Amino acid sequence: MDLALTQEQSMIQETARRFAEDVLAPRAADLDRTQDLQVLKDNLSQLAELGFMGLNVDADYGGTQAGAVAFSLAVTEVARACASTAVTMSVTNMVGEVIQAIGSEAQKQTYLPKLCSGEYAAGSFCLSEAEAGSDPANMKATATRDGDAWILNGAKQWISSAEYAGVFVVWAVTDKQAPKGKGISCFLVPADTPGIRIGKAEDKMGQKASATNEVVFENCRIPADALMGKENDGFRIAVAELAGGRIGIGSLALGIGQAAMDYARQYLLERKQFAQPLANFQGLQWMLADEYTNLEAARMLLMNAAWRKQSGLSFAKEASMAKVFASEKANAACYTALQMLGGNGYIKEYPLERFTRDARVTSIYEGTSEIQRVIIARELLREIS
């Protein structure tokens, strides 16, 4: 693995950093407080103009075609400023990648340009259900063939960006008699299709400006060509694409953790106790050293997973390693940074309490830390079996 970034990757990282600092950071606290959808949509529209909503999508379909490494770098920089914007960007990029990987040519031509250009503010995955989160193969939503159409019925839970998404990638059971996980198919469903009902946005602990909704399909009729990939092969697709999403969420977590520690580091130089800067105290110095070391290790794991994906190598184990490590170390970094600020860290005037709330979910969505460890162990044992 060559650790040096290409000229294009460096340019994308720097562009993302400048946009995050100049546009996203000044808005982030108010956006967290107000959850103003128009402000979020403006953030997303500007990201689309920069080419950041289709970083790994081919140029033929309006994408940037920059690869998985550039995607990881960009998500990290955006998350340093606004996690709510970053998660929408990450998920939309992954929706585009799924369509590109398994969609028909007509599906690619129809939907990818709209995602990449910002005509669609976002794309959403409809996989999880109330009793099918960590165990998505247990889903109950169904798609029943009816002549030249499919009829979707069921409810999906915790769907990011649902209320402003332009298109949904939906998984549903198409063969009830098949063994668990074998009779599931994947569909591409425009958000304006009759029979779709979007529930109210969940009142979340963090990443509050990113809407998370229930999506209900009630006799939702979609054409036969809405099927993506092969019938009853959808679960395999879901498992494969979730691995790529874990690189995105790990990168997002890294960005939050870095933002928290960068703020705390500056604070240590400026804040005085016992007539000297906090930075002079060895205990705080060691905390600083440990957290930055952990974040650098997380960055290396993410770069390795992204590089393997970009190189066409297996990367599921590496993506899970990167995601569990980055998300847990980002959470630890946020709590350590908050502790460094003392009472000020607990006050909303300072950004640490927001960073801490935003980081918490990264060890839950796109596969919990516990599920990542199951995947890692399974792959390790498979390698020697």
Q: What b/e readout covers 108-140, taking b as 16+ CB neighbours within 10 angstroms? A: bebbbbbbbbbebbbbbbbbbbeebbeebbebe
State the Cα–Cα distance between residues 154 and 269, nearest whole angstrom: 55
Q: Which of 77, 214, 353, 366 is catalytic?
A: 366
Q: Which tokens hold the place of 274? A: 């016992």
Among residues 181, 185, 187, the alpha carbon closest in space to that of 138 is found at 181
State the Cα–Cα distance between residues 334 and 358, nearest whole angstrom: 9
Among residues 251, 229, 215, 239, the alpha carbon closest in space to that of 56 is found at 251
State the Cα–Cα distance between residues 233 and 125, nearest whole angstrom: 16
Residue pair 76/23 in contact (Cβ under 8 Å)? The answer is no
Q: In sequence order, what DSSP letters do the residues of 246-302 get, joined into one string? A: HHHHHHHHHHHHHHHHHHHHHHHHH-EETTEEGGG-HHHHHHHHHHHHHHHHHHHHH
Rg over CA atoms, the chain:
21
User: Is 366 tagged catalytic?
Assistant: yes
- Tell me which residues are annotated as active site: 366
